[in-house]
Amino acid sequence: MSKQETRGLARQETSALARELKTQVKVLGGFVAIMWILEIVDLVVFQGALNAYGILPRHLIGLRGILFAPFLHGNFAHLIANTIPFLTLGWFVMLRETSDFFVVTAITMLVSGLGVWLLGSPGLHIGASGVIFGYLGFLLLRGYFERNIPSILLSLIVGFLYGGTIWGVLPIQQGVSWEGHLFGFIGGILAARLLTRRKK
């Protein structure tokens, strides 16, 4: 292969990477924008009434929260606390393939939401933390399931950065939906297993 052809291939790869990164920024930015717009509208216009669309365990109407709850938050402090790990872990999920983000998000929303609806404590459950714990479970266990060096290294990095949050799956803090964390984490592990099997 000539130097000119090599340079051409390098330019194509760089261009493809730039397009992929732009897509990832749009996807993550879009999700976070929806959360922030909803919270602003909820507090300013509805005075928190939109939180009624969260998950209400063992009530039929509460099933709608499986779809809506991850986008709803109790206040700006709650939303800020979720925004940074959502962006960080969400991007780690995308690193290999952007499509992984959508698969992992869908599985963790479903598993976390159904788990909370079936076994959650009484009251409304809202927030993106169930999905965030799903990303955490996916990233920590993907290295185990795939058993290749890049995945193992990423699992170790995520464990170093966010391993301490694993205690959130236990009922140690009042007013926090630990059930959402636990079932989200389980959903992430399930997503890691399913995606590993599909890629094989």
Reported as a single tens digit per residue, the pLDDT across 110-127 is 999 999 999 999 999 999
Question: Considering its fold, how many domains does the chain have in total?
Answer: 1
Give dist(CA 143, CA 136) in Å, integer: 12
In the block, residue with structure tokens 């598993």: 111
Q: For residue 96, what are its two tokens?
A: 């290999």
Residue 66 near residue 109 (C-beta atoms within 8 A): yes
Residue 155 belongs to what H/E stretch? helix 149-162
Put simply, whether the predicted model's pTM sits higher than 0.85 gets the answer: yes
Higher pLDDT, 10 or 17: 17
Q: What is the DSSP letter of 51?
A: G
Query: Which domain range does residue 70 map to?
Result: 3-199
Give dist(CA 128, CA 69) in Å, integer: 7
Reported as a single tens digit per residue, the pLDDT across 44-98 is 999 999 999 999 999 999 999 999 999 999 999 999 999 999 999 999 999 988 9
Q: Indicate which CATH number applies to the domain containing 143.
A: 1.20.1540.10
**For the stretch 31-67, what's the b/e string if a residue is b when 16 or more beta carbons lie within 10 angstroms of its beta carbon?**
bbeebbebbeebbeeeeeebbbbbbbbeeeebeebbe
Q: What is the DSSP letter of 177?
A: -
